[in-house]
Chains A and B, each alone.
Chain A
Amino acid sequence: MRTGLRRFFRERSAVVGVVIVSVVVLAAIFGPLVYGVSPIAIRHDLMGTPQAPSAGHLLGTDLLGRDEFSRALYGARVSLTVGVTAMLVAIGVGTLYGAVSGAAGGAVDAVMMRFVDAMLAFPSIFLIITVEALTNNFALAVIILIIGLLSWMSVARLVRGEVLSLRERDFVEAARALGASPARLIFRHLIPNALTPVVVAATLAIGDNILVEAGLSFLGLGVQPPMPSWGNMLQDALTPDARNAPWLVVTPGLLIVVTLLGFSLLGDGLQVVLNRSIQQESSGIDEPAVVLSRPTTEAAAPAS
């Protein structure tokens, strides 16, 4: 573990990822407390004429005279909340599904995996947009559930793959011989040992979920005003009257880019470290691993 940490911090990009993610998380938690300007207070004297960034309003004001910096800070809270909790939902469902499928094997496994194939054939963002629009309920919990429940499939594939290889290992065989129930096998032996790659997938999923939430809110199908989210801030910036205020377009977009970059770098760094420790475990030689970068989160397992 110690050497793992040292190795992690030797990866320059991973360190950049940690720094970005920490800054965003700290800003989301403490920013609103420190800054103390309301994100929803409308300034009637500034209404209709967005103010450019100045000492009084660090990132200017929007069309309703609301402070853009404060909205960005509160937006970070919303984005991170959705990103992390939807990830937890997806990881929970995906891990359980994948573990059961892999442990069951045979026909059950085949049927369960065909369902995953079918779910993965959708452009997932379109599916999420459709379900969210039809549900027509934009409470944060509903948005989180919809994103989480429609994005667990790649995790399920990943965990299933791990479980399939673990199933034949001696310690699982031993547990089975000792009379462990299937549930005990899955929860005590298979899932804990399959979790290593899930850590990477979880980190990357937070970024993906933030992007999906931003996309939903951008279409007006996500977080509803006056609650700020980076996506609906961008939507506000596209109101014709706000088109001559470029800072309203730049702010939410750059925040999304930087945050996703942070989670991406962090996930990649974790992958490098975990891959190397797995390699070392098996070969005992510290060879530089060739890491094939991840094209999408779906790439964790080849499509069948």
Chain B
Amino acid sequence: MTAYVVRRLVAAIPLLLLVSFISYGLMGLAPGGPAAILGAQARGLTPAAREHFIQQLGLDKPWYVQFFFWLVTLVFHGSLGNSYVDGRPVFDKILERMPITLELLGLSLAATLIVAIPVGVHAATHRGSWFDYISSALGFAAYATPVFWLGVVLVDVFAIHLRWFPTSGIASLGYEHDPIDRLRHLVLPVAALTIVSFASWMRYQRGAMIEALQAPFVRTARAKGLSERLVVYRHALRNALIPTVTLLGLTLPGLVGGAYFVEYVFSLPGMGLLGINSVFSRDYPTVMGITLLSAIVVVLGNLFADVAYAAVDPRIRYD
């Protein structure tokens, strides 16, 4: 197992290299690249000073040469470069924002599983019932809901109208280290992200459960005279959870993208808000760093899903 994890981690390196190469290429090839922007922003500078800046940042080189320098800096200095906006190391800027994003993702993933798995199981064991019908309709509706709109509606109803929760941010003034205050700020963002991602999990769990309930071992369990509860939860559910684990890897890119929109709507100072603001201010090094770290989160998430798959299913051996 350890060997498998190590091998997968090693295999992830060329993938991430390719990922950073592609994002550098896309940014470099987009018209109005960094040099043009710097040119426009630095109108106050003398031509000589502007030339000096462009040369210092390496913006006069083609994008693949810049990519090479960026990579060398990353590998040999462990640095993602400095932000164009405030000159601080990109790595520090992202690292201080990361906990909020991970918190948002982790909490909403936990909430999604807690709601979606029981609902999916109940829908599967009561196929064609009202419960099945309504939960699947709600699932479709939730799946069709744009997360940014849902965020706005939740703020309108629960923060502005009912005043139950704060409208935005991660802490109230003077309560910066109060965990309760922090949780209160996270309720609406987590709810928004949970509602839109719940549908996939619920429907996937329902499908996997239906399949498991038709398996021969379930018939055997019933034939042994086990109670329906034991058959459903001990035998069928344990097997139905296995395919669901793989959903983590599949939904992660979407979840991360959703989290960025949620951070934007709720002004949560996480990686997503930093990313979107950096896109607006054309802070290339920061955008690049966030792109790479988002991809790392996704690749590691996939790896985790595969390892978890092996852990819950003893029939699968990786060697």
* A interface list, Cβ under 8 A from B: 13, 114-115, 117-127, 129-131, 133-137, 207, 211, 214-215, 218-219, 234, 237-238, 243, 246, 249-250, 252-253, 256-261, 264-265, 290-296, 298-299, 302-303
The 6 A-B pairs with the shortest beta carbon distances in the complex, nearest first, are A260-B144, A293-B203, A123-B257, A295-B200, A253-B149, A125-B257
Contact B144 A207 (CB under 8 A): yes
A296 neighbours in B (Cβ, 8 Å)? 200, 250-251, 254
Q: How far is the CB of B30 from chain A (nearest CB, A)?
A: 4
Of the residues A119, A134, A238, A257, contact of B144 by C-beta under 8 Å: A257
Of the residues A115, A218, A234, A303, contact of B302 by C-beta under 8 Å: A303
A238 neighbours in B (Cβ, 8 Å)? 152
The number of residues on chain B lying at the interface, defined by a beta carbon within 8 Å of a beta carbon of chain A, is 64
Quick one: closest B residue to A291, CB to CB?
B207
Contact A290 B211 (CB under 8 A): yes
Q: With A and B bound together, what is the CA distance between A264 and B264 in angstroms?
A: 26
Contact B152 A253 (CB under 8 A): yes
Contact A123 B253 (CB under 8 A): yes
Q: A129-B279, A302-B246 are in contact. Are A246 and B15 (CB under 8 A)?
A: no
Stretch at the interface among B186-194, B231-239, B292-300: B292-300
B5 neighbours in A (Cβ, 8 Å)? none
A256-B146, A295-B200 given; 6 more Cβ-contact pairs under 8 Å: A114-B18, A123-B257, A126-B260, A126-B291, A257-B144, A260-B144
Of the residues B31, B150, B203, B207, contact of A135 by C-beta under 8 Å: B31
Q: A126-B257, A219-B264, A257-B144 are in contact. Are A121 and B280 (CB under 8 A)?
A: no
Q: With A and B bound together, what is the CA distance between A151 and B15 in angstroms?
A: 19
Q: Can you give 12 contacting A-B residue pairs, CB < 8 Å?
A: A123-B257, A124-B257, A130-B291, A131-B30, A135-B32, A136-B32, A219-B264, A249-B153, A253-B150, A265-B140, A293-B204, A299-B251
Of the residues A124, A134, A290, A298, contact of B250 by C-beta under 8 Å: A298
Q: How far is the CB of B2 from chain A (nearest CB, A)?
A: 21
B42 within 8 Å of A (CB atoms): no
Contact B250 A295 (CB under 8 A): yes
Q: A256-B146, A292-B207 are in contact. Are A133 and B279 (CB under 8 A)?
A: yes
How does the 8 Å CB contact mask read for B255-286 relative to A, with 1 for contact and 0 for none?
01100110010000000100110011010000
Most chain A beta carbons < 10 A, residue from B33, B146, B150: B146
Contact B19 A261 (CB under 8 A): no
Quick one: closest A residue to B143, CB to CB?
A264
Stretch at the interface among B21-29, B79-87, B170-178: B21-29
Contact B210 A290 (CB under 8 A): yes
B302 neighbours in A (Cβ, 8 Å)? 303
B165 within 8 Å of A (CB atoms): no
Q: With A and B bound together, what is the CA distance between A234 and B299 in angstroms?
A: 33
Q: With A and B bound together, what is the CA distance between A114 and B203 in angstroms?
A: 30
Contact A123 B256 (CB under 8 A): yes
Contact A125 B260 (CB under 8 A): yes
Contact A118 B260 (CB under 8 A): no
Contact A121 B299 (CB under 8 A): yes
Q: How far is the CB of A85 from chain B (nearest CB, A)?
A: 20
B141 within 8 Å of A (CB atoms): yes
B200 neighbours in A (Cβ, 8 Å)? 293-296
How does the 8 Å CB contact mask read for B40-84 relative to A, with 1 for contact and 0 for none?
000000000000000000000000000000000000000000000
A135 neighbours in B (Cβ, 8 Å)? 30-32
Q: With A and B bound together, what is the CA distance between A122 and B32 in angstroms?
A: 22
8 A Cβ contacts from B146-176 to A: 146, 148-150, 152-153, 156, 160
Contact A137 B31 (CB under 8 A): yes
A114 neighbours in B (Cβ, 8 Å)? 14-15, 18
Q: With A and B bound together, what is the CA distance between A268 and B55 in angstroms?
A: 54
Q: With A and B bound together, what is the CA distance between A243 and B256 in angstroms?
A: 28
Contact B201 A298 (CB under 8 A): no
Contact A295 B201 (CB under 8 A): yes
Q: A125-B261, A207-B144 are in contact. Are A292 and B208 (CB under 8 A)?
A: yes
Contact B152 A234 (CB under 8 A): yes
Q: How far is the CB of B226 from chain A (nearest CB, A)?
A: 23
